[in-house]
């Protein structure tokens, strides 16, 4: 069975301070998870832990400060005293606005 990575998993990783995700080959990453991987600048590698090679493409392979990553960092610094849930809601709202999505 293929591994499924969701936005909730990426959000939990980020607020736990984890910045590296090792996945088996063929893992499925949901679109929401891809957005957060990109926004939180999480490194994704495929293979076994310890011997994994980094992915060469996709959101996690982007280098430099892109707009979404910069927004996430600003939100984190401005809302440093807020709860992780509050910070996450603001980051998601900004990402949604930047990508033209709306939440119901």
Distances in Å between the Cα of 34 and the Cα atoms of 49, 70, 71, 79 are 20, 16, 16, 23
**Degrees (nearest 5) of the Cα angle 94, 63, 22?**
90
Average pLDDT over residues 18-24: 88
What integer is the mean pLDDT of 1-24?
89
Q: How confident is the model at residue 30, as a pLDDT?
A: 93
Residue 24's pLDDT band (cuts 50, 70, 90) = confident
pLDDT in tens, 31-87: 999 999 999 989 888 876 544 343 433 443 333 345 566 666 677 667 767 777 777
Of residues 2 and 59, the one with the higher pLDDT is 2
For residue range 95-104, list pLDDT tens digits in order: 777 666 655 5
* pLDDT in the model for residue 87: 75
Q: Which residue has the tokens 């959101």?
A: 59
Tell whether pTM > 0.75.
no
């Amino acid at each position: 069975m293929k591994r499924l990575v969701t936005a909730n998993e990426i959000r939990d990783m980020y607020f736990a301070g984890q910045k590296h995700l090792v996945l088996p080959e063929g893992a499925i990453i949901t679109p929401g998870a891809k957005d957060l991987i990109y926004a939180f600048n999480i490194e994704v590698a495929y293979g076994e832990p310890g011997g994994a090679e980094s992915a060469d493409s996709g959101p996690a392979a982007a280098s430099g400060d892109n707009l979404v990553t910069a927004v996430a960092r600003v939100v984190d610094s401005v809302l440093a005293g807020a709860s992780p849930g509050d910070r996450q809601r603001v980051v998601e709202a900004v990402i949604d606005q930047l990508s033209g999505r709306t939440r119901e």
